């Protein structure tokens, strides 16, 4: 009897143990198959990413390198945009395509001859690379309300009023440090206000066109719908539900026809407070372009939020000049003129101009190199760090520096 009970107990225990083992085996098999599936999915994603990167690299390697000096471009299309902006589509006059690649965010430098004088201006490329054309979008600069009597913007007005389809323009190759690689890792916050959207729009277009996987938050600020040059485009992108790209449209002064939640997402300006409300964390690279108060606000707000300075990038279209006290002599060697300074000056270009010495300049920000001049003797002090990447040894960028003691300039 006892033997029977023990035998039954043994059988039950054996059965139980077998059942537990079978359950564990099943669990193990499920795990192995899940891990296998996850690993396979990861592998597929990696392969896709590699394929995209290979494609991008091959495409870029097949593109010609940028040109030196001036290349002639023909205006192929001129399209008015909202907000007093006009887009110009430029094709190479020599017909040689594909066009050299550029980093999204870079700008073109135009040399014009207006009223017998050479004048140079920079305009950001507002689209990603296309093999057959470049695009720039230019806002007409109106005369400031104050002080009264100042003229409207010379070159922007010229582009709007006098540059037409078929016209030939002198253009220097894309350049600039405010740029991204769409295929780097890490999330991006791209913010642009008004016409300042152009370089970040180029970055966004590149991310979308090249199906890059970086997480992107795109903040776009304008006064209201009448100035929104991306209304249809953003609507189309939203409909395409691009999983890694988020759009936030801000109107600072919406009018009665603008619909919250449809035409725009926030009533107010683009700023770091909005980033803090919407972003999942501060772990992004921030690229901002807009009017100086907006960029200063973003910079200060991001610093308060603890974003390292190395992750904050901005592009100014205009220089905000602060004069500094200088006591020195400037010897303009080529002109044969030596003058003393004892007072405040904004920069060497303006000072030279006041002395009748012309130093050509374009960006007034130390970005484009138009004003690069040999510093034969002495030292200069910069108001902002030059970002022109081809600054030659023994030269300076007079648009953003003042003498630091007596100098001799090759001007």
Long-range contacts, 49-52 (Cβ 8 Å, 24+): 49/213, 52/183, 52/210, 52/211, 52/212
Site for ligand FAD in 184-203 (CB under 6 A): 195, 198
Q: How many residues bind to ligand FAD according to rule CB under 6 A?
A: 27
Q: What is the DSSP string of 134-182?
A: EEEEEEPPPPPSSSTTPPPPHHHHHHHHH--TT-EEEEEEEE-S----T
151 contributes a contact to ligand FAD by CB under 6 A: yes
Q: Would residue 87 be called left, alpha or beta, if left means φ above 0 and alpha means ψ between -120 and 50 degrees?
A: beta
Q: Assess 139 for contact with ligand FAD (CB under 6 A).
A: yes
Which listed residue (82, 153, 301, 378) binds ligand FAD by CB under 6 A? 153
Show contacts with ligand FAD in window 325-364 (CB under 6 A): 363
CB closer to ligand FAD out of 136 and 180 = 136
Sheet strand arrangement including 324-332: 337-345, 324-332, 407-409, 373-377, 395-396
Q: How far apart are CA 396 and CA 401, in angstroms?
A: 8
Question: What is the C-alpha radius of gyration for the chain, rounded to an integer number of angstroms?
Answer: 29
71 binds ligand FAD (CB under 6 A): no
CB of 44 to ligand FAD, least distance (A): 40
Q: Of 317, 332, 351, 388, which lies in the binding site for ligand FAD, with binding defined by CB under 6 A? A: 317
Indicate whether 124 belongs to the interface with ligand FAD (CB under 6 A). Answer: yes
Task: Specify the stretch interacting with ligand FAD by CB under 6 A; choose among 116-124, 250-258, 293-301, 380-388.
Answer: 116-124
Q: If you search the block for the tokens 């690689």, which residue do you land on?
A: 181
Please tell me whether residue 135 binds ligand FAD under the rule CB under 6 A: no
**Residue number, 101 or 156, with CB nearest to ligand FAD:** 156
Longest dimension (CA), the chain: 126
- Using CB under 6 A, pick the residue from 84, 331, 367, 396 that binds ligand FAD: 367
Cα distance between residue 203 and residue 209, in whole Å: 10
Least Å distance between CB 196 and ligand FAD? 8
Separation CA 159–CA 138 (nearest Å)? 8
Q: Using CB positions, name the residue nearest to ligand FAD.
A: 153
Q: Which residues contact ligand FAD by CB under 6 A?
A: 107, 121-124, 136-139, 141, 143-144, 150-157, 176, 195, 198, 317, 363, 365, 367
């Amino acid at each position: 009897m006892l033997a029977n009970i023990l035998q039954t107990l043994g059988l039950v225990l054996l059965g139980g143990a077998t059942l537990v083992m079978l359950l564990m085996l099943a669990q193990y098999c499920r795990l192995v198959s899940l891990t296998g599936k996850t690993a396979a999915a990861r592998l597929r994603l990696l392969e896709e990413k590699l394929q995209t990167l290979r494609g991008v690299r091959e495409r870029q390697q097949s593109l010609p390198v940028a040109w030196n000096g001036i290349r002639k471009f023909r205006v192929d299309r001129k399209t008015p945009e909202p907000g007093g902006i006009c887009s110009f589509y430029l094709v190479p006059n020599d017909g040689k395509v594909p066009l050299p690649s550029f980093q999204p965010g870079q700008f073109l430098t135009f040399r014009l001859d207006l009223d017998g004088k050479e004048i140079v201006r920079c305009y950001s490329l507002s689209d990603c690379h296309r093999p057959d054309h470049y695009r720039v979008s230019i806002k007409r600069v109106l005369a400031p309300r104050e002080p009264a009597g100042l003229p409207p913007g010379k070159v922007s007005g010229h582009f709007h009023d006098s540059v037409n389809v078929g016209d030939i323009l002198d253009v220097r190759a894309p350049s600039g440090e405010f740029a991204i690689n769409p295929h780097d890792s890490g999330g991006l916050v791209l913010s642009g206000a008004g016409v300042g959207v152009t370089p970040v729009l180029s970055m966004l277009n590149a991310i979308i066109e090249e199906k890059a996987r970086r997480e992107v938050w795109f903040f776009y600020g304008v006064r209201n719908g009448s100035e929104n040059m991306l209304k249809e485009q953003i609507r189309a992108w939203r409909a395409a539900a691009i999983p890694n790209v988020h759009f936030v449209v801000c109107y600072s002064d919406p009018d009665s026809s603008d619909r919250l939640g449809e035409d725009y997402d926030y009533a107010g300006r683009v700023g770091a407070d909005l980033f803090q409300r919407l972003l999942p964390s501060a772990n992004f690279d921030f690229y901002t372009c807009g009017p100086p108060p907006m960029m200063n606000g973003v910079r200060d707000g991001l610093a308060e939020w603890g974003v390292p300075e190395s992750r904050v990038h901005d592009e100014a279209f205009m220089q905000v000049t602060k004069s500094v006290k200088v006591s020195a002599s400037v010897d303009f060697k080529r002109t044969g003129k030596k003058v003393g300074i004892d007072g405040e000056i904004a920069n060497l270009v303006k000072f030279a101009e006041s002395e009748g010495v012309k130093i050509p300049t374009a960006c007034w920000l130390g970005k484009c190199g138009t004003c690069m001049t040999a510093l034969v003797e002495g030292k200069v002090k910069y108001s902002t760090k030059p970002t022109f990447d081809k600054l030659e040894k023994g030269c300076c960028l007079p648009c953003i520096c003042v003498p630091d003691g007596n100098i001799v300039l090759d001007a």
